[in-house]
Amino acid sequence: MDIEVSDKNGLRPVRIIITNTGKIRAVSGNNIAELSEYKADSWLSFKIDVNAAAGELTIGINGKEVLKDAQFAQKTNTVQRLSFRTGKYRGLVPRKKKREDLPRAGVPVKEAVYYVDNVSITP
């Protein structure tokens, strides 16, 4: 699962990746930072501090700061959205372009379950 903070145009300056191999990663500038390990069937608590003016983010997991003042993955001056995504990023689709089915869209995949609780956003 990916946790992303984006701007109104879909740019994703903040990207956290929860892998299926027990790793939590984040995009920091042009690099991928290893943040932590996790065990399946256990709760995780994330704190994401975003400083859009400076283009920086800080991430805490389970009360421990694991990434401090990292650079945005994509440059933007504002952020507006929080998203939780499974599957690959589909890219930005021009609004006037006809949408087509994704390849293998009907092929079942191994089930994964995620619970999201107590989301709080403060300016």
Per-residue pLDDT tens listing for the chain (123 residues):
999 999 999 899 999 999 999 999 999 999 999 999 999 999 999 999 999 999 999 999 999 999 999 999 999 999 999 999 988 887 766 656 666 777 888 888 888 888 999 999 998
Rounded to two decimals, the pTM is 0.85
Q: Which residue has the tokens 């992303």?
A: 4
Q: What number of CA atoms fall less than 13 Å from residue 59's CA on the CB side?
A: 25
Q: Is residue 62 part of a domain?
A: yes
The whole-number pLDDT of residue 100 equals 73
Give the percent of the chain with pLDDT over 70. 93
Question: Using CA atoms, how far apart are residues 17 and 27, in angstroms rounded to an integer?
Answer: 8
Is 56 inside a domain boundary?
yes
Is residue 44 included in any domain, yes or no?
yes
Nearest-angstrom CA–CA distance, 26 and 38: 14
Report in angstroms the alpha-carbon separations of 47 from 66, 78, 94.
10, 18, 32
Which residues make beta-bridge pairs with 34?
25
Tell whether 71 is covered by a domain.
Answer: yes
Neighbours of 71 (CB within 10 A): 15
Does 115 map to a domain? no
pLDDT 10s digits, 19-38: 999 999 999 999 999 999 99
